[in-house]
Amino acid sequence: MILCSGHYSETVSEEVDMSFSNELRNELARVMPAKLCCCRAELAALLAVSGSIVKKADGDMLLRIVTENAATGRKIFKLLKEIYGLHSSVRVQNQKRFKKNRFYEVNTVIKSDNKWIFEELNMADKNENAGSSVNWNLVAKSCCKRAYLRGVFLSRGFVSRPQGGYHLEIVLNSDKLAADVQEILHRLNLQVRSIVRKGSVVLYIKESEKIADFLRTVEASRALLEFENIRIIKSMRNNVNRQVNCETANLNKTVNASVRQVELIKKLILKKGLKVLSPQLRDLALLRIKYPASSLKDLGSQLEPPLSKSGVAYRMRKLESLAEKILQEN
């Protein structure tokens, strides 16, 4: 079903997907480069990963670009018109592709005398998937490199919701294109790792700071703001959890030590009484029994004269050692 010819119909509806990744793609699809060179670079990226060329019987060529995102299809339509004055048609297909039931097909007829467009966009003039590498002339400037990355992510990018784990990836079917995209990332000081998954090369980032740098590079300001806000909240929550866990561990340690000390002192009292202890150790033993939940610091403040935490710890170790020795005697 052809929905429009010559203009992109607003009747093309976009499936609602509230995932962070889809929100990001929708934002990037609305970013229109200010410079013609950047428009050309981003279009080349979109064609490299999603475009193909079909030969027609009359000698003309049909440029076909398939995307799962309606906003991306609208951007491709607009770029082709603004850069080359080409008019396209958009077809909505309901088939299983890209793990989606609906995808959008932008078709543009290229006359035989306009085949230079394919060369400029680094597309092969043959009936196969186009764009297996990067035309470095198109990405000579830093602004064009950023635009190219934006186009690549629009077609083959994914980022997980920052509320969970941090993960951004770009899946490419061409080894050469993947290597070129990785080189572009490297030249923009964005370091990524790569793996092979089901025959495709996956470029991925798992560090939150580097993902934020990528979002900043492709000019995803709204997604970057949300990402950073969530990252700050997660960091604060993790710090609080670490502090609570540390305090809980210290409390458990204090309670366990106190229970052990009280039991030991009570056994000593039953067997020998406290007269076997020196006045200093006896005072500490009585305080421990009276205040079993108190910390060593609190016990030290109640001694006469007051004693520091380290001093109480030393005296308590001495008390425990002497009590154990006495209790082991027949």
CATH numbers and ranges of domains, the chain: 2-232 (3.10.28.10), 250-327 (no CATH)
Please state the φ and ψ torsions of residue 194, each to the nearest 5 degrees. -135, 150
pLDDT value of residue 13: 31
Using 50 as the pLDDT threshold, list the residues of the chain that sit under it.
1-18, 125-131
Distance CA 213, CA 218 (A): 9
CA 79 to each of CA 57, 103, 283, 326: distance values in angstroms, whole numbers, following the listed order: 27, 19, 86, 90
- Please tell me the pTM assigned to this model: 0.67
pLDDT value of residue 97: 55
pLDDT value of residue 120: 81
| Residues 144, 148, 112: CA angle, nearest 5 degrees | 95
CB 258 within 8 A of CB 288: yes
pLDDT value of residue 75: 92
